[in-house]
Amino acid sequence: MKRRDFLTLAGSGMIVSGAFGRSAHGQATAYPTMRRLTGTESQDYVDGRPCFSPDGQTILFMRQKLIRNGEGKIEPGEAWFCTVPANGGEVSDFARIDGFQFTRPDWSWVRRSFQIAFCGISKSGSENSIYLLDVASRKIWLILKGDSARNRIFSYPSWYPGAGALCVTNYWEGTNSEGFTTPGTMQHLLRCELNGRTNPLTHPTQIWPGMSSVCHVGTGPGNLPAIAFAGEQRTRAGYNQDFNQIWIRRPNGSVFAIDGLQARAPWWSPNGSLIAFESNRETSKSGNENYQIFVQNPSNPAWIFPVTSPEQAVQHAKWSPEGNRLTFAYAIEKGSQAQGIAIVDLSESWSG
């Protein structure tokens, strides 16, 4: 599956509410300062899907070099992993294998080996499989082998608390580059043990899920975690990620939408009280349609805070271990495929 492109950049007004206990109406101006970590010196790369190291000092992300294909068109090449200091500094290659793509990482903050779960894609592009990557040796370990011919198209691994299992999306019939599938798609969430055994967490007749995030904190009997995911109910038109909302899977298996508004790519805060996600719910009103990063309390959906300006297209936010920073990808320039990695400190707004 190819990375989705950012929508065109433009400015707009918006309404914000519940900004860490405050309210403001009209043009929002008090966004946390966005610090660009990559993309400031070169527009040759598509950087995306960042996540923090356990100590919060390093950001891991996937990188693709923009190349000209045989038809003369510019497109992203193979993906590999890079790192950059969270306080800014030089970008370093972290994991790279010719003919193999490293995508969609989740870095466990508790494991001591094979800490990074990711989706690995073969050169043919037909096998989206789930791997673990060891930070010290850079060795990879195949956990769940994909096979598109057998409807096994795995993506978006997310660690369970304790890092003994993963939540994984199986796209089944697959999603094309525009985010659409056929009406008969059977995509669902799976719990994947590290020995490769899987158990379904959702059923296609119940919901169509995309990217998921397992809460770090368990609740209720058995201390089981809730799972946030981008998803939508079945329609005759088929799955379209642009129409996703944020849903929660309770430990008992039931699911509910937080507020029913457009949103995708959720990620739980470390203490399990907030969810960061991307949405064009505000910008679409003016025709801008840039994706912004929001933070929301799923137990009180009216409490929602826009983290980024509507004039800056962004996506795929992840929390820092201490829970006061977010890292995400941003569009470098209107009309360009180039993306960079940025970071914001939410304590700027919390303390305000």
Higher pLDDT, 39 or 241: 39
Please write the tens of the pLDDT for every residue from 177-204. 445 555 556 899 999 999 999 999 999 8
pTM of the model: 0.88
Domain boundaries, the chain: 29-350
Please write the tens of the pLDDT for every residue from 161-171. 999 999 999 98
Instruction: For residues 299-303, give the mean pLDDT.
Output: 95
Instruction: For residues 142-155, give the mean pLDDT.
Output: 89
* Pairwise CA distance, residues 309 & 342, whole Å: 13
CATH class of segment(s) 29-350: mainly beta
Strand order through the sheet with 116-122? 100-107, 116-122, 128-133, 140-144
Please write the tens of the pLDDT for every residue from 94-115. 999 999 999 999 999 999 999 9
Q: Is the pLDDT of residue 338 over 60?
A: yes
Give residue 70's pLDDT band: very low, low, confident or very high (50, 70, 90): confident
Instruction: For residues 151-163, give the mean pLDDT.
Output: 94
